[in-house]
Amino acid sequence: MSTATETRTPDGATPAIGGQLATFWLDGDLYGVEVAHVQEVLRSQSLTRVPLAPTAVAGLINLRGQVVTAIELRERLGRPPRPADTDAVVIVVRLHGEAVSLLVDAIADVVDVDPADFEAPPDTLDGTARDLIRGAFKLDGQLLLALDVHKAVSA
Amino acid sequence: MDGLDDIVEEFLVESHENLDQLDTDLVALEQEPNSRERLSSIFRTIHTIKGTSGFLAFNRLEEVAHVGENMLSRLRDGALDLTPTRTSVLLRMVDTVRSLLASIEATGGEGTVDVSAVVAEISAAMEDRPAEAAAPAPAAPVAEVAAAAGTEAAEAPAAAKPARKTARKPAVEAPVAAAPAVVEVAEVPAPRPAPAAETEHAPAAPSADDNSPARRAVADSTIRVDVDLLDELMLLVGELVLTRNQIVQYVGRSNDTDLVRASQRLNLIASELQEGVMKTRMQPIDHIWSKLPRVVRDLGIQCGKNVRLEMEGKDTELDKTLLEAVKDPLTHLVRNSVDHGIETPDARRGAGKPAEGVLTLRAKHESGQVVVEVADDGAGIDPAKIGAKAVERGVVTEAQLARMTPTDVLQMIFLPGFSTAAAVTNVSGRGVGMDVVKTNIEAIGGTIEVESVAGKGTVCRLRIPLTLAIVPALTVECAGDRYAIPQISLQELVSLDAEKAANAVEEVGGAPVYRLRGELLPLVRLTDVLGLTSDRHDGHVVIAVLRSEGRRFGLVVDRVINTEEIVVKAVGGQLKAIGLYSGATVLGDGTVALILDVQALARRALRAESAERQEARVAAAVAAKDTEGQRERMLLASIGGGRRVAIPLDTVTRLEQVRTENVERVGNREVVQYRGAILPIVRLDRHLGAYGESDREVLEVIVYSDHGRSVAIVVEEILDIVDGEAAIRSDIEDMGLLGSAVLGEKVTELLDVRAAILAADPAFYTAGPAHSTPEGVSASLMEV
């Protein structure tokens, strides 16, 4: 799955994750997704819930007339729910022509990463999250977790 | 080079259109063999193909067209009579021409298509009348000219030879050929004055023939547009309609008259634009019907049946995409009617009907839908036989069957279980691939139903939306959210105030029903289906009466908002998998609403709830009586929220504990690896709408295995194993439960194990490695 999707990245970059990552915060951790996948970032949107959907599906949002599924990344990564008084930030990613959105805590910078800093997921990572995280970049004073966005949205 | 390619392409396009017409004409000709108009029309088509193919140096194509033309000209002149054999040969010629054209289209050349066989066949068919063998027979290859001249005996072969060449390019005829050509023109006008001249100017000339003038005229005044472009336009118009809806809603609150006026104009223009763009994608249903006369004819001959095809409403238009989608199902229905519906001539005479069966295709617009009917006056379908077969195949039980109306019984021919049953086909005469037809029709948001009167005939009725992109829908509210229900499924709305509702909504064995004009309408609460809690507490009941698969049911919603045109948006794979939503839409105020898939809803709610549950209950009551004193061992488990559930012990294979971190996901389902296999999980608390603690480290799991497949049922805690007593029971029920009983001095819910298992693994009973009957688990439950 991952090799197949990586060959499809529009920038044609090497499968080794390098280049630019759009980063965001989630439950105190810093995550990153390839900039090429990111279509836009929106502030909190009103969600239409979808009864009987998988728990990670937070609902549907109206993106300028387009209906986009929103994935609650906290649920997806097995983290506790977002505190009630904070609003989620919506990252809209485009995969195979279809837009999907991820709900995260806060958006951070776009970071240039060096493949040399890359390491496989730390062993401390637990079950669900482990599948979704391709590895970590050792930045100064902070680990940047590279999210496998394809797996993350296939909730 | 480009120029030549363009010519070839034009030739191909034109020829394909002409050939479709030809099929229709040839078959029609059999009905009225003496129609010179038809013959001339056919002759013209072949003549054009022959001429152009000669010009483009497609020699084999020319050869086939030429000998076909020979025969046609003699038929036209009355020198030959049209027999079924000759029609068949001509149709075969059309096929050969088609395959040649296909080869040209694909490779640019005539490829390896062999024409000698069909040429020989046509020549043979021309000579099979010994009566006229004397003079014309030797002249057969050049009979076209001879016959056309009307003075066959007098024509010398010498004159005929050059004439044959000139036929390629009639316009630039050599002087030698002038004589026969003139004779031809001069001769034809007598019997049929008007279109006479066209024989020589086939491609351009209008004709008096039924619909060919319209076609040609249209061809002149149209341009070809890429369908993708139209799709894109359609999408944009959809967006425009949405924006329009929003603006109209906002402006409705405004007092600015200029703004109001402008928005009204916008409203009007957007509607017209929408209609206009929709029209660009519309094509008359005749596009797919035109192939059917041939299908009916061939199949009729094959089956030894005499079938007349009648068409009403050829001009009825529908969206091109839908048209394509309907083509195969429609052909299938027509084939079915000829094959199984209409009887053999002898049988028909025996039944006091005319030997010739009539197959009628009807198309019409009806309240925003296109209704297409395939009706035959054949033997009809006997509900009793269908019913008996259904019971035999285990699709329904005797008791269920007894409760079904004859109409409902008939609809069972669309069930997948029926399609594979050859025996059913023999008995009932229907059922082959009908489930496929139904699936295809439903895939485009349509519905199909069948009506039949034994001995009188059968009608299959398709209801197809005009277009896929924009559909009229009813928006309803349920538990604070809005949902859209396509109008196509909606029959009526019933609103009951608290006082009325208390009396009018009754229970039949635990299932709520409403008496709608004397008929019992099963009710399904949308909140129950969606696992939500209604926020309406004033006792009012709003029922949307829906029809699906020939069955009616009432969907209880909180409120009806309004009807509006909605633009259907696809939903992501995660949501499609739920199988309850056919899409989503953006409403006038910008919020997203899910579109309910009424068919799926009916399937989920009706079969699972009413029929099966009642069945199980009746059987349980009977069994309880029969086996008095016998007790079943039940496993007691808690599922959170203080609720206790009893599970028959014989549906428990093992008890296990699973660490939460080992639970993985496949699609939207939870699974766990277990003894080298993947075990789907159903969390009973979620399944039954209880709220247990979700963050436990270790899950208590009940494993149920049958025929090599297993599922895991997660409960909060295993409590005890007790002897179930059938005596103290009540019918208080809920989704996923069979009822309740007092066990161990506490009220305990009896789990509908089958429903729980299906929630974990929908394919559990159907896709098992070994054969397992759908009644497998219910049977074990009935022993209670």
Taking residues B159-185, report their average pLDDT: 40
Cβ-based burial of B291 (10 A; exposed 0-12, middle 13-18, buried ≥19): middle
Q: Between chains, do B574 and A98 touch, taking CB under 8 Å as contact?
A: no
Sign of CA dihedral B533, B535, B540, B544: negative
Q: Do B581 and A50 touch (CB under 8 A)?
A: yes
Whether the Cβ atoms of residue A17 and residue A146 lie closer than 8 Å to each other: yes
Of the pLDDT bands very low, low, confident and very high (cuts 50, 70, 90), residue B571 is confident
Interface membership of B117 toward A (CB under 8 Å): no
pLDDT of A153 over the 80 cut: yes
Cα separation, B294 vs B331, whole angstroms: 11
What secondary structure does DSSP assign to chain A, as a single string? Answer: -HHHHHHT-TT---SS--EEEEEEEETTEEEEEEGGGEEEEE-----B--TTS-TTEEEEEEETTEEEEEEEHHHHTTPPPPPTTS--EEEEEEETTEEEEEEESEEEEEEEE-GGGEEPPPTT--HHHHHHEEEEEEETTEEEEEE-HHHHH--
- Shortest Cα–Cα distance, B666 to chain A (Å): 8
| Best to test chain B binding among A45, A52, A79 (most B CBs inside 10 Å) | A52
Q: How far is CA B622 from CA A90, B140, B509, in A?
A: 57, 83, 14
Among the ranges given (B16-30, B43-57, B411-425, B501-515), the one the predictor scored with the smallest mean pLDDT: B411-425
- Asked if A66 and B594 come within 8 Å (Cβ–Cβ), the reply is no
Q: Do residues B177 and B63 touch, judged by C-beta distance below 8 A?
A: no
Q: Do A62 and B664 touch (CB under 8 A)?
A: no
pLDDT of residue B278: 79
Tokens, residue B514: 């409403």
Q: Which residues of B touch A155 (CB under 8 A)?
A: 574, 665, 668
- The domain locations on chain B are 2-220, 227-280, 284-465, 486-604, 627-782
Highest mean pLDDT among B62-71, B391-400, B481-490, B608-617: B481-490
For the cut 90, the answer to whether the pLDDT of residue A101 exceeds it is yes
What's the confidence (pLDDT) of residue B185? 37
Would you place residue A26 in the very low, low, confident or very high pLDDT band (cuts 50, 70, 90)?
A: very high
The architecture that CATH gives domain B2-220 is Up-down Bundle (1.20)
Cβ contact B569–A51 (<8 Å): no
Q: What is the pLDDT of residues B336-390, one digit of tens each?
A: 888 888 888 888 888 888 888 899 999 988 766 788 999 998 888 888 888 887 7
Average pLDDT, chain B: 73
Q: What is the mean pLDDT of residues A130-143?
A: 86
The superfamily (CATH) of domain B486-604 is CheA-289, Domain 4 (2.40.50.180)
List the single residue in B242, B575, B585 with the smallest CB-CB distance to A53. B575
Q: What does the pLDDT read at residue A14?
A: 37
Question: How many CB atoms sit inside 10 A of residue B506's CB?
Answer: 12
Q: Which residues of B570-598 are buried (b: 16+ CB within 10 A; e: fewer)?
A: ebbebbeebebbbbbbbbbeebbbbbbbb
A-chain CB neighbours of B237 within 8 Å are none
Provide CATH code, domain A2-153: 2.40.50.180
| Tokens coding A39 | 């279509």
Instruction: Tell me how far apart the 2 most distant CA atoms of chain B are, in Å.
Output: 112
Q: What pLDDT is attached to residue B434?
A: 78
Mutant choice from A62, A92, A123, A128 vs B, greatest count of B C-beta within 10 A: A62
Residues ≥6 apart with Cβ < 8 Å to B197: B185, B205
β-strand pairing of A19-26 with A118-119? unpaired
Among candidates A52, A54, A60 on the partner chain, residue whose Cβ is nearest the Cβ of B592:
A60
Is pLDDT at A135 greater than 80 in this prediction? yes
Smallest Cα distance from A69 to chain B, Å: 7
Top-confidence residue, B505 or B431: B505
**Mean pLDDT of the B496-515 span:** 81
Picking from B527, B569, B585, the residue whose alpha carbon sits closest to that of residue A51 is: B527
Instruction: Kindly determine whether residue B572 and residue A46, on different chains, have CB atoms separated by under 8 Å.
Output: no
- pLDDT category of residue A31 using cuts at 50, 70 and 90: very high
What band does B545 get if pLDDT is binned at 50, 70 and 90? very high
Distance to chain A for B482, nearest Cα, Å: 9
Determine the distance in angstroms separating the CA of A44 from the nearest CA of chain B, rounded to an integer. Answer: 14
Cβ contact B43:B313 at 8 Å: no
The CA angle B186-B38-B143, to the nearest 5 degrees, is: 55
pLDDT band at B758 (very low <50, low <70, confident <90, very high): confident
Task: Give the pLDDT confidence of B63-111 residue by residue, as tens digits.
Answer: 888 888 888 888 877 777 778 788 888 888 888 888 888 888 777 777 7
| Cβ-defined contact of B590 to A62 (cutoff 8 Å) | yes
- What is the average pLDDT across B3-17? 71
Reduce the DSSP state of residue B652 to 3 states and report it: coil
Inter-chain residue contact A155 with B574, CB threshold 8 Å: yes
Q: Given a cut of 70, is residue B624 above it in pLDDT?
A: no
Q: Does domain B627-782 have CATH number 3.40.30.10?
A: no
Q: Is the pLDDT confidence value at B173 over 60?
A: no
Residue among B654, B604, B614, B637 nearest B778 (CA)? B614
**For the residues B633-649, what does the mean pLDDT come to?**
78
The answer to whether the beta carbons of residues B533 and B541 sit under 8 Å apart is: no
Which of B558, B566, B592 to mutate to probe the A interface, most A CBs <10 Å? B592
The residue among B205 and B397 whose pLDDT is bigger is B397
CATH code reported for the domain at B284-465 = 3.30.565.10
pLDDT of residue B298: 86
Spatial contact of B658 and B712, defined as CB atoms under 8 Å apart: yes
Portion 498-537 of B in contact with A at CB < 8 A: 530-532
Give kind and range of the element (H or E) at residue B750: strand B746-751
CA proximity to B547, closest of B591, B497, B598, B581: B598
Highest-confidence range of A45-49, B220-224, B633-637, B712-716, by mean pLDDT? Answer: A45-49
B531:A51 CB<8 A = yes
Token digits of residue B316: 């009825």
The reported pLDDT for the residue numbered B731 is 54
Whether B188 has a pLDDT exceeding 50, the answer reads: no
Is 50 exceeded by the pLDDT of residue B237? yes
pLDDT-based confidence at B120, cuts 50/70/90? Answer: confident
Give the lowest-confidence range in B27-31, B423-427, B428-432, B563-567.
B423-427
CA distances to B8, B61, B96, B97, B493 from B101, rounded to whole Å, are: 10, 8, 9, 6, 55
Contacts of A62 in chain B (CB under 8 A): 586, 590-592
Q: Test A48 with B590 for CB contact under 8 angstroms.
A: no
A48 to B594: CB separation less than 8 angstroms, yes or no: yes
Contact B243 A65 (CB under 8 A): yes
Backbone angles phi, psi at B305, to 5 degrees: -120, 155
* In the block, residue with structure tokens 């296939």: A154
Of A7-11, B283-287, B760-764, which one has max mean pLDDT? B283-287
Domain chopping of chain A, boundaries: 2-153
Confidence of residue B143 (pLDDT cuts 50, 70, 90): very low
b or e along B623-661 (b: 16 or more beta carbons within 10 Å of the residue's beta carbon)? bbeeeeeeebebbbbbbbeebbbbbbebbbeeeeebebe
Choose the weakest-confidence range: A72-76, A148-152, B178-182, B524-528: B178-182
pLDDT at B205: 37
Q: Is the ipTM of this complex over 0.90?
A: no
Segment of A146-155, B39-48, B717-726, B731-740 carrying the highest mean pLDDT:
A146-155
Q: State mean pLDDT over A125-130.
A: 74
Question: Does the beta-carbon distance from B574 to A69 stay under 8 Å?
Answer: yes
pLDDT over 80 (residue B393):
no
Q: Contact B198/B184 with Cβ under 8 angstroms?
A: no
| Cβ-contact B411, B549 below 8 angstroms | yes
Interchain contact, A62 vs B586, CB within 8 Å: yes
Distance CA B452, CA B341 (A): 10
For tokens 């993106």, name the residue: A63
Q: What residue in B sits closest to A61 (Cα-Cα)?
A: B592
Q: How far apart are CA A42 and CA A103, in angstroms?
A: 10
- List residues in chain A touching B: CB distance below 8 A: 46, 48-54, 57, 59-62, 65-67, 69, 98, 100, 126-128, 131, 154-155
Q: Which residues of chain A neighbour B534 with C-beta distances below 8 Å?
A: none
Rounded to an integer, what distance in angstroms lies between the CA atom of residue B544 and that of residue B554?
5
Mean pLDDT of B475-488: 90
Q: Which of B566, B665, B685, B697 to mutate to test the interface with A (most CBs of A within 10 A)?
A: B665
Q: How far apart are CA A145 and CA A142, in angstroms?
A: 10
Determine the average pLDDT of the residues in B235-262: 83
Q: What is the least distance, in Å, from the CA of A112 to any CA of chain B? A: 31
Out of A61, A100, A127, name the one closest to residue B592 (CB): A61
| Amino acid (1-letter code) at residue B119 | V
Residue B170 pLDDT greater than 50, yes or no: no
The model's pLDDT over B670-722, given as tens digits with 9 standing for 90+, comes to: 888 877 778 888 888 777 776 656 667 778 888 877 766 778 888 887 777 77
pLDDT value at residue B631: 53
Full-model pTM: 0.47
Over residues B460-482, mean pLDDT: 84
> In this predicted model, what pLDDT tens digit does every residue of B400-412 receive, in sequence order?
787 777 777 888 7
Dist. CA B435–CA B433, nearest whole Å: 5
pLDDT score for B368: 65
Asked if the domains B486-604 and B627-782 are classified in one and the same CATH topology, the answer is yes
